[in-house]
Structure 1
């Protein structure tokens, strides 16, 4: 005799099966085969985490490309201003050369020695010859300067063109990254939207449980007995700014004032504290001074994952403020709930 199954259990199993099929078909082909599709809600949670992580990596690459494009745009604008100044200088030299040529024409255009021989006033002729020689030398100097100016102008123009080409290439890369981001975010949202309310609640509970377990492991090392408890003056300002943003939505590529991504929040927090730091989490990790996790203090930035794709600001008592991912708001969460790569201190 076949054993009957409770209707709710059948619905849950069907929902998981549907999600498993969906996750199996939303893998980006550029990534390696992730293995078997998940068969439980916890497996789905892990799959969602993977999708959002990949989206965050793509977001960081987009932000880096955007920063590069902005920097190149400033270089191009500077070069164009220099080219414009060179053109003005060239026009001025042409005017001076024209004036010198007209003066020579008014003098008859004769060589100085001939003018001296034909003159009835040798002293006056000698003065004219000296002036003519000075004018000739000045004209020659101006011609030399004009040649150099034209050469520099050509070099600047070529350099400006090269910078423009780099800028266009960066923008193309930026657009490709944006497309990847939007596709991955859509995949993750599609996964969540297929869950029923009860499954979404269970999924959230599983996510919180995983965070709590990770935090417990981290706290269990005794790390909070070693870390600092007092922020520096700038760190306090950065924390105050980040605190004011709690509840605002995560939006990829955003750096306020109404929405943020993870590095947009941390870079703006420190900017409002009077310190400019790199825009992306990857560059924040690469360029800011590192401090041991055991020596971190409130205001420091915690960099997460081996690819430095996530960042949050440490606020003390084992907590962080971060912009977590699409569909979520800026919030306070456990510092040890994710894989910590290291800590950087903008005001070291």
Structure 2
């Protein structure tokens, strides 16, 4: 079996095992609370001391810092997307300006040719020339030519005026887009500073912990997630959920599954690392159905569905400010890119506060 197939099989088995544990109501949190297994000597292992309040406060602080970093990451990604659109618009306007300038140059050349022709005829306008003619035939021919000349001149002048007006409008639009681009760059730079500040504070906080405290902190986080997942499952939310993934939804899930183990990097959208919305947006792009880049825009623009109606491939939006997103893969599980320092992983869909569910291909 090739390495690619082995990798996909390993990832698929990981998902299956995780989903089996996550989907059983009332068991996930209970498993964490069971009596420790006996030691080799036959006596029960010493129970882990209960988490102290200080360590719980550290966990809450870290959650707050990484949440704020996620909000800033969404702002950064939104500014990045706007910058791409505005840059493309400026390029388009620049092309129109160049084309307009070429057209105006051609029109001016035509006007110059008409002026030179008038000079060669003695400076008399066509109207005066045919009125002074004594030949009736020439008079009639001249009348037609004068009319044509007047219409051509009027058309030429009108086209020159319109072209000059268009050039002014294009220039004004380009200037406005440039100002927006500069404002977007400032917003992106400010968001980047906020992200780096929040992550730096979180890392400094974690660096103060001893190794055993870090282990206990990890257990605290795991316990909190399992408790939330179990409480969510115990509501019976999945009782009537039997939605089958669409063809594109299956492709999106396959893409997300193939990214398991890749690191979270804020602002990243693959192929080697992802942030939360980078993962979901790229998964649906790979499925042939592009979606907005940020979790907040995914929540705002995509069709909302009830949690009980969700199916694999749907996106679950978390927290009241829509600052996190994950892909539902069925049986109460999600695949998501959690936060800095973590990798793309399988988790319980109810392990974080759910804002709602959206369906990209509704």
TM-score by length of 1: 0.86
Q: CA deviation at 1:44?
A: 0.7
Partner of 2:198: 184
Answering whether residue 56 of structure 2 is matched by residue 42 of structure 1, we say: yes
The residue that corresponds to 2:270 in the other structure is 256
Cα deviations by residue, 1:86-109 (Å, 9 ceiling, x for unpaired): 112111111111121222222222
In structure 2, how many angstroms separate the alpha carbons of the residues matched to 1:103 and 1:176?
A: 62
Q: RMSD of aligned C-alpha atoms?
A: 1.8
Paired position in structure 1 for 2:256: 242
> When the two structures are aligned, how many residues end up with a matched partner?
313
Match of 1:157 in 2: 171
SS of 1:105's equivalent in the other structure is helix
**Residue in structure 1 matched with residue 5 of structure 2 by the alignment:** none
Which of these residues, 129, 134, 152, is aligned with residue 138 of structure 1?
152
Gaps of 5+ in 2: 1-48
2:287 match: secondary structure = coil
Find the counterpart in structure 2 of residue 63 from structure 1. 77
Match of 1:173 in 2: 187
1:226-305 to 2 correspondence within 5 Å?
226-305=240-319
1:328 aligns with 2:342: yes
2:11 corresponds in structure 1 to none
Cα distance in 1 for residues equivalent to 2:332 and 2:147: 83
Alpha-carbon shift at residue 116 of structure 1 (Å): 3.9
Task: Normalising by structure 2, report the TM-score.
Answer: 0.82
Query: Contact (CA 8 Å) 1:100, 1:135: kept in 2 or not?
Result: no
1:345 maps to 359
Question: How far apart, in 1, do the equivalents of 2:235 and 2:53 lie?
Answer: 33
Alignment counterpart, residue 94 of structure 1, candidates 108, 113, 123:
108
Compute the displacement of 1:193 (Å). 1.8
Residue from 58, 70, 89 that aligns with 1:75: 89
For 1:312-343, what per-residue CA distance to the aligned partner results, in whole angstroms no more than 9, with x for missing partners? Answer: 00001111000000000000011111000100
Deviations 1:40-90 (A, max 9, x none): 211111111111001001101111111111111122222222222211211
Q: Quote the Cα distance in structure 2 between the aligned partners of 1:269 and 1:112.
A: 70
Q: Judging changes above 3 Å, is the alpha-carbon distance between structure 1 residues 322 and 103 closer, same or farther for their aligned structure 2 residues?
A: same
- Once residues 131 and 238 of structure 2 are traced to their aligned partners in structure 1, the CA distance between those partners, rounded to angstroms, is 101
**Which segments of 5 or more consecutive residues in structure 1 lack a partner in the other structure?**
1-11, 17-37
